[in-house]
């Protein structure tokens, strides 16, 4: 029915969304569709949305308009977190034919009867407490795959819409995760990024084995050469997990650990499950145990109650920690979150200024981290594409490198010497 029909995808937001988009893509290919780039003319466009910030919502609308401009007669489907939270709002956007909530996104092949654009938008959704768990992982021409192990979140962070969009925490089984890892390996992919909303809360849905148990089992999958643990809460990084990463040849010395603020007052307002003392202790333990480790952090600026004094505490806290880079997020008011009604609102201009300060600090942290490893040898896994005459890759400890393009070493792991930091901030390397 859909033979010779083209489908294009656009994904907003997190690694979890990318894993789910890829899974939906494979489902549609199985019923006859051929994938094409989003910029191309297509018969079907699938837009997987994010709703973490207001900017993500605006971007969704822009992408819908772009899809309609690319192909005015195309059938447009919108899914993801924004679709779960605001189905009516999306259905009112001109050009949208179908809106799929969190449970329905993987039912798209069954819901597509034809590709005739509709006068009335179809909306398929369910209550947030009725969500199931759907396994997903990404398969692309890249060197790594994003593999979902967990979905949803039980944490009460006052700024966050994720529990409203993805529901309560629920997990895959270790058995199925290992099966997925082997499937990924069979496609020639060398690296897996373990992802989810709150992966530190992982509990096998069949027998309650925890994240440490999962790490042990993944380490045994022979064909996968590398794993990276995506964002994991500081209060959920056990000593056992740190020790497993330290000893493993496959789990890379790289952690991404959300901080959100260096002020205990602000962390309390956010209802984070830790204070700065725990965060500091965890970072210092990891650095002392794991050789050459790279540690990134998320930071939110401009949260209600973040006075200039509390912001300065965050700046000083970060400067006093062995962090390698930051992901900076400007606080954005979200409906139905406790933070929207809090006092001490920070002006938009102050939020922008603080965000700029932290991005500058992040660049300095990364530069300092890179400089520490100049003229040292590391193992790097190279990507696929030729970009302006260069082949790019990442070292074990997440230093982005480039060498003059060589077709023969695409998607391979090689020993390199790190020689210089280029003007673009990327490390130049030489093959050994």
CA dist., res. 381 & res. 197, Å (int): 26
pLDDT tens digit sequence for 51-71:
776 776 788 889 999 999 999
For the chain, list the domains and their CATH numbers. Answer: 6-128 (3.40.50.12160), 133-252 (3.30.750.210), 256-371 (3.30.750.200), 377-431 (2.40.50)
Which residue ranges of the chain lie beneath pLDDT 70?
Answer: 53, 56, 141-142
CA distances from 66 to 24, 73, 115 (A): 21, 13, 18
Q: Which SS3 state, helix, strand or coil, does residue 99 take?
A: strand
CA distances from 49 to 12, 78, 130, 348, 359 (A): 5, 7, 20, 24, 25
pLDDT on residue 3? 85
Question: Of 135, 26, 121, whose CA–CA distance to 77 is shortest?
Answer: 121
pLDDT on residue 128? 79
Edge-to-edge strands of the sheet including 44-49? 34-36, 6-11, 44-49, 75-80, 98-100, 122-124
Residue recorded with tokens 């790490």? 215
Looking at the DSSP bridge assignments, the partners of residue 224 are: none
Both structure tokens of 104: 């329905």
Both structure tokens of 323: 């962090």
Q: Which SS3 state, helix, strand or coil, does residue 222 take?
A: coil
């Amino acid at each position: 029915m859909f033979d010779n029909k083209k489908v294009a995808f656009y994904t907003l937001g997190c690694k979890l969304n990318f894993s789910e988009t890829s899974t939906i893509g494979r489902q549609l290919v199985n019923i006859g569709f051929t994938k094409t780039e989003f910029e191309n003319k297509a018969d079907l466009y699938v837009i997987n949305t994010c709703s973490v910030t207001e900017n993500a919502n605006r971007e969704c609308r822009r992408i819908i308009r772009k899809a309609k401009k690319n192909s005015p007669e195309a059938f447009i489907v919108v899914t993801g977190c924004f679709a779960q939270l605001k189905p009516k709002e999306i259905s009112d956007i001109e050009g949208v034919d179908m809106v799929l909530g969190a449970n329905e996104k993987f039912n798209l092949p069954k819901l597509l009867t034809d590709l005739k654009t509709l006068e009335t938008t179809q909306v398929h959704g369910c209550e947030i407490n009725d969500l199931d768990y759907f396994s997903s992982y990404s398969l692309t021409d890249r060197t790594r795959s994003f593999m979902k192990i967990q979905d949803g979140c039980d944490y009460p962070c006052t700024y966050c819409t994720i529990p409203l969009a993805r529901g309560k925490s629920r997990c895959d089984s270790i058995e199925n995760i290992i099966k997925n890892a082997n499937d990924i390996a069979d496609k020639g992919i060398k690296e897996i990024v373990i992802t989810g909303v709150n992966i530190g809360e992982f509990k096998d849905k069949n027998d309650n084995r925890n994240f440490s148990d999962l790490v042990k089992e993944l380490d045994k999958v022979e064909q996968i050469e590398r794993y990276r643990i995506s964002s994991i809460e500081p209060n959920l990084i056990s000593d056992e997990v740190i020790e497993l990463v330290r000893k493993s040849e496959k789990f890379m010395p790289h952690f991404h650990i959300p901080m959100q603020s260096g002020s205990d007052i602000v962390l309390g307002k956010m209802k984070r499950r830790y204070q700065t003392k725990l965060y500091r202790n965890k970072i210092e333990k990891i650095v002392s145990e794991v050789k050459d480790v790279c540690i990134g952090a998320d930071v939110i600026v401009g949260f209600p109650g973040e006075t200039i004094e509390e912001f300065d505490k965050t700046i000083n806290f970060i400067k006093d920690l062995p962090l390698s880079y930051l992901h900076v997020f400007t606080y954005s008011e979200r409906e139905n979150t406790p933070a929207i009604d809090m006092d001490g609102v920070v002006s938009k201009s102050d939020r922008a200024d603080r965000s700029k300060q932290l991005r500058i600090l992040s660049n300095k942290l990364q530069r300092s981290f890179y400089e520490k490893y100049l003229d040292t040898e590391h193992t790097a896994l190279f990507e696929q594409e030729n970009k302006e005459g260069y082949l790019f890759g990442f070292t074990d400890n997440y230093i982005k490198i480039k060498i003059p393009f060589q077709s023969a070493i695409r998607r391979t792991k090689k020993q390199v010497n790190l020689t210089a930091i280029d003007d673009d901030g990327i490390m130049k390397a030489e093959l050994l």
